[in-house]
Every structure is written in structure tokens, then in C-alpha cells.
Structure 1
């Protein structure tokens, strides 16, 4: 029910909202060089940093390391 309501109201699925939230938190965390990409992935709830990197790249067009080096 909630997913359908979200899609009707926003045009985006619940999964898209969750991924968007995770990516924004990741971007903020990546600006702090004291934490590794792996640490950020674990903090965001990913069991494997590779899955985090794959999602980040699919949503932003760049890897977490590329994002960090450009910002």
C-alpha cells in the first residue's frame, strides 16, 4: 500500500526514495576523507562494499572514489 501511494504522489517507488536517501548520505560521508569507502558502506548498512560501490555508480555515474576525488 505505502509503495503504491508513494508512486502515485511522487512518481517514484519506495526503493527509489531509499536509494536516493542512501546516495545523499553517502555523498556527505565521502566528503570526509577520514573514513574509507568500505567504512561508509558498512555504516550505511551494506554487507559488502562492492554492492555499495555498484549502487553508487549506477545512481551517480561515478564510483565513490571518483566522487571523492572530484569534491
Structure 2
């Protein structure tokens, strides 16, 4: 996004933080987690397949991020009857 606007990534991130109080990484994660929630509910793929399809190379990182932001593990979000 920054390159498309002839800006440095750091400068764009600073602009976003001034406007939204979130860093570029936080905004990207928020967007990815919205999509992850949709995929977990609607897609028959397992959690790791969904995480990798969304660009997460590390399933543990995805799971920790998801749980921190959503309040449930991705597996429990996908299938609330696991408890």
C-alpha cells in the first residue's frame, strides 16, 4: 500500500496510527481476523489450513493472536461444541 502511494512503509504506518490509533500491522491483523472468523464458521477446512491460506506461516502465532483478540481459540470458535 505504501509503495502504491509513493510513501515509505514507516511513514504510512505513522499516518495510520495518527488517524486510527492503530499501527498498520494491527489494522492488517484486524482485517485478517475478520476473514479468519468468516472462514472458520463457513469453511470446512481445518484451522491450520485456514491460517496458512490467510498468510500465517506459524499456526501457533495465529492461534495466540486469534485468542487474544477474539477471546476464544480458533478451534473453539470453529466448533463451539468442543467444550
* Map 1:11-26 → 2, pairs under 5 A: 11-26=21-36
Deviating above 2 A after TM superposition, structure 1's stretches of 4 or more consecutive aligned residues are none
Give the TM-score, by structure 1 length. Answer: 0.88
Give the TM-score, by structure 2 length. Answer: 0.77
Paired position in structure 2 for 1:46 = 56
Structure 1 residue 69 and structure 2 residue 82: aligned? no
Q: RMSD in angstroms over aligned alpha carbons?
A: 1.2
Gaps of 5+ in 2: 1-10
Q: What is the SS of the residue equivalent to 1:31? A: helix
Paired position in structure 1 for 2:20 = 10
Of structures 1 and 2, the larger Rg is shown by: 2
Gaps of 5+ in 1: none
CA distance in 2, matches of 1:17, 1:54: 17
